[in-house]
A and B are shown apart, each in its own frame.
Chain A
Amino acid sequence: MRYLVTLVALGGGVVSDATALWGVGTWVDRDGVRRPWEVSHTEIQRAMGHSSRVLGDLGVGPGARVLWCSMLSEAAQVWPFIVGSMLSGAQLSCADATAAEAPRVAMFCRLIDYRAVMGVTGAILDGLDEMGLAYADVFGAVAVLGARPDAYHRLTTAGLAPQHFALVGPAVAVAREPAGPALVDDAEWAVDLIDGHVAVTTKSERPTAFDRAVTCVRAASTSGNEIACA
């Protein structure tokens, strides 16, 4: 349906109280359970500032194109990056991060020269396998390939040079270079390791505080805002 061309709202248009809720997203705990996460407009605004710096580091700006692979339940984390991509002057595409969406991901990558494809999951790779497509044929021309933990090693085995990308509970961790550590926003989050899982702690004022909340993401080590992914 083409009608959504006419939907221009970026959200927040009528909200005068920034502490009001932006939405209720999710974060995933160590057992893989999705927990509700109430996010305010203030937090989204702060995350937008951070996302614009990250996107700049990744070379996603005017003239660049970026494909975000994510799920709606991840929107509280990913929205600042998705909308931030457009605000940065880049052209945005979106796909669900599922096996069923692999044909769309492949179609996008065939038709559009992306600077970055972010959030590639193992499920998308499963879908590409089913289609008989080699990862290098689909993503070979992409400069920045942001891979989730369950996709990273499959992509390196295929000869590609992905960068770590993970939703670490409520925080987003993005590596700035292939094989580099994934970084969360230093002003907002502290990370450490509990039984091999990354735990997240809020550093600044939030309606929902996290205190060493153990997430589903495994890592070898953490230091400051850096995560050496497992």
Chain B
Amino acid sequence: MTQLPPNESVYFDAEYETMPREQIAELQLELLLETIAYAYEHSPLIRETWQAAKVTPRDVATFDDFYEKVPFISKDAVRDFRDGRGDPYGGLLCVPTDELTAIMSTSGTTGDPTLVAEKWGGGSVGRPAIMYRDFWGMGVRPGDFFSLFLFTFRGPTYGFVQSLGGIPLLFDYDLMEIERLLRLSCEYRPTAMYNFGGTMILATADIAERAGIDPRDAFSSYKGMVWAGEPLGARARALADEWGMPLFEHSSVGDVTASFECSMHNGMHFWEDTVLVEGIDPEAVDHRDAQAITRDGERCELVATALTNRVAPLIRYRSDDIVRLARTPCACGRTHARIWTIGRKGDEVIVAGRSVLPIDVWSAVESLEPCRLGLFQVIRAQREVDVLRLRVGYQDTPSARLGALADEVAGAVLAKVGVTPEVQLVPNAELLRLGPPHKIPRVTKR
């Protein structure tokens, strides 16, 4: 049974959330040494990777030992092990398969989905952290209604709402559900929402108008509305401000855990009693030449190690994510580090020597009225290209005007990014079919 703090408590777990950093480090080292010994013994991928680097858990007694000697694991290494050995768990599984209670999968947005092994109730050695501390911090209390706007492929994880004493309103992750969300929000007055993205916010404007509902009223009871997946464009931000949406950003942390903004809205906290996060030079070839980037706010590649997962822990997992990190105390009183996401290393395209990430194209695309949902893909056959090719979604435009619209998109992108793109227009519906709206692949080979 989850123990809840008194309602007036600002923190879900005050002792852990405000733990002095030296104490966090002590706890992390203890968990790290335990985790690496366990993973080395049970995970074939970890053991083989370490053996190739001629290191064993006995060689690691300090953080410096770990950073200096332990090799990275990449997503490709996991996939290669899976495909080469016929092991659907990519060599990460540390328990016999018959002990698993669930076999879920990753989203598959950045490649084919991979299996995620789970053991309910026995998979973690930590205290309740992610979701619990974050939503409590946003103000969710027992008895509150809580809008869940989710897909199901991660299984019945939404039970955390009831464990917090909340009552979920259940919605599909689908634009078609927005009107129902608005209506039930007016009826039940929920305090929290998980999770809504930029595309959803943009679509809400038209849907609310057609339904005759004022989004300001529908969203007036919310204390925290979590969005994730993709950067919010200027248009979505402006609408959210206009409607008084209390937005909190949320993001993955190297496939090991996730992070949430706190009330300060200055970076997303991740709970360091569950994960060890490092920042390294993105150009590093391997652990031997990887420069640690420890200055607050500097761009780095995120490397993460699971500290409490005893089913399939990732150790020194090189995420491909470009981020900024800060370990200075936050004004909210929490001592755990914060992260800002910037983009994926693998999404970068070099157009005639100029670096372009999807985030750079975004505001240009959504500035055109027919493209206001900001749906687009960068077509990236290889990293370096001569011409930036974009597939852009549109709505409400007669076919006779499409040529002119393509020119307008190209002009907007040129003004923003400095290169003239080749623009292929497709109806929004065609892009939306590629996945849940906040997860359409923004970079594609074809």
Q: What is the interface of chain A, defined by CB distance below 8 A to chain B?
A: 1-15, 20-26, 34, 36, 63, 65, 68, 70-73, 75-76, 79, 82-83, 86, 91-96, 99-101, 103-104, 107-108, 111-112
Q: Are A8 and B172 in contact (CB under 8 A)?
A: no
Stretch at the interface among B21-29, B254-262, B398-406, B416-424: B254-262
Q: Are A112 and B309 in contact (CB under 8 A)?
A: no
Whole-angstrom CA separation of A79 from B4 in the bound complex = 24
Whole-angstrom CA separation of A125 from B173 in the bound complex = 20
Instruction: State whether A96 and B435 are in contact (beta carbons under 8 Å apart), knowing that A5-B124, A103-B113, A104-B108 are contacts in the complex.
Output: no
Instruction: State whether A4 and B104 are in contact (beta carbons under 8 Å apart), knowing that A23-B168, A83-B156, A107-B113 are contacts in the complex.
Output: yes
Give the distance to chain B from A173, nearest Cβ to Cβ, in Å: 20
Q: Which of A4, A36, A86, A96 has the most CB of B within 10 A?
A: A4
Q: Which of A5, A63, A82, A107 has the most CB of B within 10 A?
A: A5
Counting from the closest, the 8 A-B pairs by CB-CB distance are A11-B159, A11-B162, A9-B163, A6-B124, A9-B159, A3-B257, A13-B163, A92-B102
Using A14-B1, A23-B161, A71-B172 as known contacts, list a sample of 15 further A-B pairs with CB atoms less than 8 Å apart, ordered by residue number in A.
Answer: A6-B126, A9-B157, A11-B163, A12-B159, A14-B165, A23-B162, A36-B187, A71-B152, A72-B149, A73-B172, A75-B170, A93-B102, A94-B155, A100-B433, A107-B112
Give the distance to chain B from A34, nearest Cβ to Cβ, in Å: 6
Give the distance to chain A from B315, nearest Cβ to Cβ, in Å: 12
Q: Which residue of B lies closest to A89 (CB)?
A: B101
B171 touches A (CB below 8 Å): yes
Q: Which residue of A lies closest to B92 (CB)?
A: A2
Whole-angstrom CA separation of A12 from B316 in the bound complex = 35
Q: Which residue of A lies closest to B82 (CB)?
A: A111
Q: What is the interface of chain B, defined by CB distance below 8 A to chain A?
A: 1-2, 4, 88, 98, 100-108, 112-113, 115-124, 126, 129-131, 142, 145, 148-165, 167-173, 177, 180, 184, 187-188, 252-253, 255-258, 274, 306, 308-309, 311-312, 314, 433-436
With a cutoff of 8 Å between Cβ atoms, the chain A residues found around residue B433 in the complex are 99-100
With a cutoff of 8 Å between Cβ atoms, the chain A residues found around residue B145 in the complex are 24
Give the distance to chain B from A163, nearest Cβ to Cβ, in Å: 21
Q: Are A5 and B170 in contact (CB under 8 A)?
A: no
Q: Are A112 and B103 in contact (CB under 8 A)?
A: yes
With a cutoff of 8 Å between Cβ atoms, the chain A residues found around residue B252 in the complex are 1, 3
Q: Which residue of A lies closest to B253 (CB)?
A: A3
Q: Are B160 and A5 in contact (CB under 8 A)?
A: no
Q: Which residue of B lies closest to A130 (CB)?
A: B433
Q: Are B170 and A73 in contact (CB under 8 A)?
A: yes
Partner of B311, one of A5, A10, A20, A99: A5
Partner of B4, one of A12, A14, A95, A99: A14
Partner of B101, one of A6, A13, A92: A92
Q: Are A79 and B253 in contact (CB under 8 A)?
A: no
Partner of A100, one of B120, B149, B436: B436
Whole-angstrom CA separation of A92 from B434 in the bound complex = 25
Q: Are A23 and B124 in contact (CB under 8 A)?
A: no
Give the distance to chain A from B40, nearest Cβ to Cβ, in Å: 19
Q: Are A1 and B309 in contact (CB under 8 A)?
A: no
With a cutoff of 8 Å between Cβ atoms, the chain A residues found around residue B112 in the complex are 103, 107
Q: Are A104 and B153 in contact (CB under 8 A)?
A: yes
Whole-angstrom CA separation of A21 from B166 in the bound complex = 9
Partner of A82, one of B155, B169, B180: B155
With a cutoff of 8 Å between Cβ atoms, the chain B residues found around residue A82 in the complex are 155-156
Partner of A2, one of B170, B255, B436: B255
With a cutoff of 8 Å between Cβ atoms, the chain B residues found around residue A104 in the complex are 105, 108, 113, 153
Whole-angstrom CA separation of A7 from B116 in the bound complex = 13
Q: Are B151 and A72 in contact (CB under 8 A)?
A: yes
Give the distance to chain B from A42, nearest Cβ to Cβ, in Å: 14
Whole-angstrom CA separation of A2 from B309 in the bound complex = 10
Q: Are A22 and B153 in contact (CB under 8 A)?
A: no
Q: Are B108 and A79 in contact (CB under 8 A)?
A: no
Whole-angstrom CA separation of A13 from B150 in the bound complex = 21
With a cutoff of 8 Å between Cβ atoms, the chain B residues found around residue A107 in the complex are 105, 108, 112-113
Whole-angstrom CA separation of A96 from B172 in the bound complex = 9
Instruction: State whether A93 and B104 are in contact (beta carbons under 8 Å apart), knowing that A8-B121, A14-B163, A83-B156 are contacts in the complex.
Output: yes
Give the distance to chain A from B306, nearest Cβ to Cβ, in Å: 8
With a cutoff of 8 Å between Cβ atoms, the chain B residues found around residue A22 in the complex are 162, 167
Q: Are B104 and A91 in contact (CB under 8 A)?
A: no
With a cutoff of 8 Å between Cβ atoms, the chain A residues found around residue B101 in the complex are 86, 91-92
Partner of A6, one of B151, B172, B308: B308
With a cutoff of 8 Å between Cβ atoms, the chain B residues found around residue A23 in the complex are 161-162, 167-170
Partner of B162, one of A9, A94, A112: A9
With a cutoff of 8 Å between Cβ atoms, the chain A residues found around residue B103 in the complex are 65, 91-93, 108, 112
With a cutoff of 8 Å between Cβ atoms, the chain A residues found around residue B164 in the complex are 14
Whole-angstrom CA separation of A3 from B314 in the bound complex = 10
Q: Are B107 and A1 in contact (CB under 8 A)?
A: yes
Q: Which residue of B lies closest to A107 (CB)?
A: B113
Q: Are B152 and A72 in contact (CB under 8 A)?
A: yes
Q: Are A9 and B309 in contact (CB under 8 A)?
A: no
Whole-angstrom CA separation of A82 from B159 in the bound complex = 12
Give the distance to chain B from A23, nearest Cβ to Cβ, in Å: 4
With a cutoff of 8 Å between Cβ atoms, the chain B residues found around residue A63 in the complex are 98
Q: Are B116 and A14 in contact (CB under 8 A)?
A: no
Whole-angstrom CA separation of A34 from B289 in the bound complex = 57
Whole-angstrom CA separation of A45 from B152 in the bound complex = 21
Partner of B255, one of A1, A14, A103: A1
With a cutoff of 8 Å between Cβ atoms, the chain A residues found around residue B129 in the complex are 6
